[in-house]
Amino acid sequence: MTEKKQLVGFTYKIPGCEERDELGNCCFKWADIVCHLDIVATRPGVMGFVPFISHIDEDKYPETKIAVQVPDNSNNPMNCYLYWERVVRFMDNNQPLPDVPEYENCRHLDELTAEFDKQNDRPNNFWSDFSLAQQVEIWQKFNKEAAHFNWLRATPNEEITKPWLHFKGEPERIEKLTWKYKAKRLALQLFMGIP
C-alpha cells in the first residue's frame, strides 16, 4: 500500500488490471478497496471471523480477494474491525499515523505525522519506555473500550490519538535481555505464537 499516492499494489498478475506502479505491479486506487467479514473454519470444528480485502468490483477482479489473518481472537469480530481501522488510519493521508509501537521508528518519515508530533509535543521514542507487559496492558484497555465504541459515529478517544498524555512508561518494568528471558520469549513465540 502506498499512503501518499493512495494506491494499493499487488505483486502478482491480475487479469484486466491497467494501472501500474513504479515497480510495474498492478495497482488500484485506495478508494476502490473494501473489506468485508466472513465466517470461516479457522481450524477443524472452529468457526471464526476473517476479514477479506478486495477490489470493490470483485466480480471483475476476483484475484484481488485476500484473506487476512488477524493475530487476535478470531471468534470476536471486533478484532477484525480493529485491524481494518488500523489499515484505514494508515492510508488516511489527512491524519497522522496511528500511535502504536510498530510505527515508532518511522513516524518522522511521514510529513503529516512528524508535524502532528511536533505541534503536540509528542516525546521521541515514546513507546521505548514501556515494557512489553505494559504495552499489552494498554492494548487490553483499548480492546475493552473498542467493544463499546460506536464505529459508525464516534470519534477516536484522546488516549488513542495522544497516548503520551494518558500513559507514562515504567522503564523499571522493561525486561532485561538475559538468556533466561530470551529462552522464555523464544519458547512463547515458537510454541504459543505469542510475540
Q: What is the pLDDT of residues 125-160, one digit of tens each?
A: 888 878 888 888 888 887 777 776 666 665 666 666
Task: Please compute the mean of the pLDDT values over residues 160-172 and round it to a whole number.
Answer: 73
Q: Cα–chain-centroid distance for residue 48?
A: 19
Q: Give the phi and the psi of residue 57 in degrees, each rounded to 5.
A: -100, 75
Task: Please compute the mean of the pLDDT values over residues 58-78 and round it to a whole number.
Answer: 81
pTM, whole model, 2 decimals? Answer: 0.66
Q: What is residue 131's three-state secondary structure?
A: coil
Amino acid at 158: E
For residue 158, CA distances in Å to 37, 93, 106, 163, 166 come to 28, 19, 21, 7, 8
Least confident of 57-66, 95-104, 133-142, 154-163: 154-163
DSSP state of 24: S
Residue bearing the bigger pLDDT, 157 or 68: 68
Task: Please compute the mean of the pLDDT values over residues 72-98 and round it to a whole number.
Answer: 80
**Which pLDDT does position 160 carry in this prediction?**
65
Q: Please check the confidence at residue 2 and state whether its pLDDT lies above 60.
A: no
**Distance separating the N- and C-terminal Cα atoms of the chain:** 24
Residue bearing the bigger pLDDT, 62 or 1: 62
Q: How many CB atoms lie within 10 A of CB 50?
A: 19
pLDDT class of 41 with cuts at 50, 70, 90: confident
Distance CA 74, CA 181 (A): 29
- Under 8 Å between Cβ of 174 and 156: no
For residue 60, CA distances in Å to 16, 55, 179 come to 8, 9, 54
**Which pLDDT does position 119 carry in this prediction?**
92
**Which pLDDT does position 153 carry in this prediction?**
61
Nearest-10 crossing angle of helices 132-147, 77-91: 100
* pLDDT above 90: percentage of residues in the chain: 4
Query: Quick one: residue 16, left, alpha or beta (phi over 0 = left, psi -120 to 50 = alpha)?
Result: left
**Which pLDDT does position 168 carry in this prediction?**
76
Task: Please compute the mean of the pLDDT values over residues 168-189 and round it to a whole number.
Answer: 78
Per-residue cell: 34: 473494501
Q: Which of 36-40, 152-156, 174-178 tops mean pLDDT?
A: 36-40
Name 8's bridge partners. Answer: 28
Per-residue cell: 25: 505491479
Q: What is residue 127's three-state secondary structure?
A: helix
Q: Taking the domains of the chain in order of start, what are their residue ranges? A: 1-75
